[in-house]
Amino acid sequence: MVTSVTSMGRSGLYDWLMQRVTAVILLAYFLLVGWVLICGVDYASWKALYAQTWMRVFSLLALLSLGIHAWIGLWAVVTDYLTERLMGTTGNVLRLLAQIVCAIIMFTYVVWGIQILWGF
């Protein structure tokens, strides 16, 4: 059992499951948005689409999924390449810094996204 406090859910299984579930949600969302764009869209119909509660809920779900998906993926990347094994103690400092920066960026995007979705 390897301890980890910065992974998404502290459990490998939880992270693995969330990565898959969020991927399916993101696929469905981007297929929908892609389909709407292909069918042709103007400002009025785009605004009308996003004025509906179901679309806002779906968008928020997709936004949160993106945050979770990105966190799990980037966490795996930094724990692969920014490690004590590869670069000594510097690796630990860089890894934690990278994780904090990623977390702040994703948090910012989520809050900003909520503001955009519900702010107009």
* Closest C-alpha among 9, 7, 62, 76 to residue 31: 62
Q: Does 23 bind another protein (CB under 8 A)?
A: no
Q: Does 90 bind another protein (CB under 8 A)?
A: no
Amino acid at residue number 13: L
Q: Where are the alpha helices (DSSP H) in 40-119?
A: 43-51, 53-81, 84-87, 89-118
CB of residue 73 vs another protein: minimum separation in angstroms?
10
Structural contact between residues 28 and 36, judged by C-beta atoms closer than 8 angstroms = no
For another protein, the binding residue among 21, 57, 80, 112 (CB under 8 A) is 80
Stretch that binds another protein, among 6-14, 25-33, 38-46, 55-63 (CB under 8 A): 6-14
Q: Does 45 bind another protein (CB under 8 A)?
A: no
